[in-house]
Amino acid sequence: MSRMRNAGACMLMALLCLPGIAFASAADDKLRACLEMQDKAPAEQTLECYNRAAQAQLAARAYRQTLAEQWAPAQDGLRSYKQIYFLAYSHSSDPNDAPTSPNPNNQVPYSYTQDNKEMKFQISVKGHMFGEDRTTLWFGYTQLSFWQFYDWGHSQPFRENNFEPELILSHRPKDWTLGSGLSTGFVNLGFVHQSNGQSLPRSRGWNRAYLQAGLEQDLGEQRTLVLLPRLWKRLGGGSSDDDNPDIEHFLGHGDLELRYHHKDMGVLSALLRIHSVQLDLALPSTLVTSLLHSTNLHLQYFNGYGESLIDYNHKHHTLGIGISMPFE
C-alpha cells in the first residue's frame, strides 16, 4: 500500500509540474498580443486580432465548464455531480466473502464464495434548491452498485449498493486566485449520509460534515488541472450499535481528487485517501470507436480499503473497463 501511496504522490507531483502550469492560457496570450498592438498597428488589423482572440477564448471554454460554472444557479433540473460510469467487467483480487466489524452484531458468517468478477456502476446527480447569487444550496445523490452479474449459479445478486444523499451549501468566490495561478471555483460545506441500506449483520453506514474546495489551473491548449481537497468530520458514531466504529481508521478524515482534462485525450483522475487510491481514465469515443457516440471508454483501477462500505476494512485491488459520461 505504501508503494501505491508513493505512486499517487508521484502522479500528483507530475501533474503539478506539467509545462505551462504557472502561465496564462494560449487564448490569454493572444489577447495580450492584441493589447500590445493598439496604437501601433492599423485599426483594421487590431480589430481582426481581437476577433481571433475572442474566437480562441470561446474555443478554449467550449470543451468543458469551469468549476464555478458547474455550481452556478441552475433552472434546468438535475445535473451531473460526481462521475457517472458503468463498468461492464470489474475483476477483484480478493472478494470479501465474510465481511467483519468490531461490532459483534455485524459479523457476516461465510455463506459462499463471491465471484471475483462483476459489474460496477455509479450514478450521481445534483439539483439546485435555492439561492440565485454566489451562495446556493444543492441536493446531491450518488449511488454506487456492485452487481455479481456473472454469477449465474446464485441468480446474479447485487452484492452491495451504497446510497449517498447530501445537502451542499456552495459558495463561488469572486476572483480568488491562489499561488501558481490556481483559481478557486467553489468552496462547499456539505452534510452527507452514506449507507448500504442493509439489515444486520451486513448494515454499514455513517454521517459526515465536510468542507471541500474546488481549485483549477488553466494549462493552455485546452488542458485543465482540477484539484478537489476535502476534509470531513464524522457525526455521531462510537455507540454500542455503531455498525462500523473503526471506519475512520481505514477511510481517514478526508480525500483529494485530481483531474487532468485534455480536450482531445479525455480525463485522467485520481482519488486519494489515507489507505487507498482509485485511478480513472476516460477516453473520448472518437479515439476508440464511433459506436459509443457521446460516451467515453472508461478504465478504472482501485487499490486499498473502502471501495464499498461493506469492504471498508477489507483490502484488495480491482481493475475494470466500461463506459462513462463526459464530465461537465
What are φ and ψ of residue 196, in 5° steps?
-105, 5
Cell numbers linked to 232: 470531513
Nearby residues of 268 by Cβ (< 8 Å), 6 or more positions away? 259, 260, 279, 280, 281, 282
Residue found by looking up cell 477564448 in the block: 57
Give dist(CA 141, CA 252) in Å, integer: 22
What crossing angle do the helices spanning 26-37 and 43-62 adopt, rounded to 10°? Answer: 170
- Clarify whether 314 is annotated catalytic: no
Give dist(CA 302, CA 85) in Å, integer: 15
Length of the chain (residues): 328
Instruction: Exactly one of 80, 183, 195, 285 is catalytic; name it.
Output: 195
Burial 154-172 (b: 16+ CB within 10 A, else e): eeeeebbbbbbebebebbb
Question: Count of CB atoms within 10 A of residue 82's CB?
Answer: 18
> For the chain, how far is it from start to end, CA to CA, in angstroms?
32
Instruction: Exactly one of 91, 171, 193, 316 is catalytic; name it.
Output: 193
Residue found by looking up cell 485530481 in the block: 258
- Clarify whether 193 is annotated catalytic: yes
Cell numbers linked to 83: 462521475
Which residues have a catalytic role annotated?
193, 195
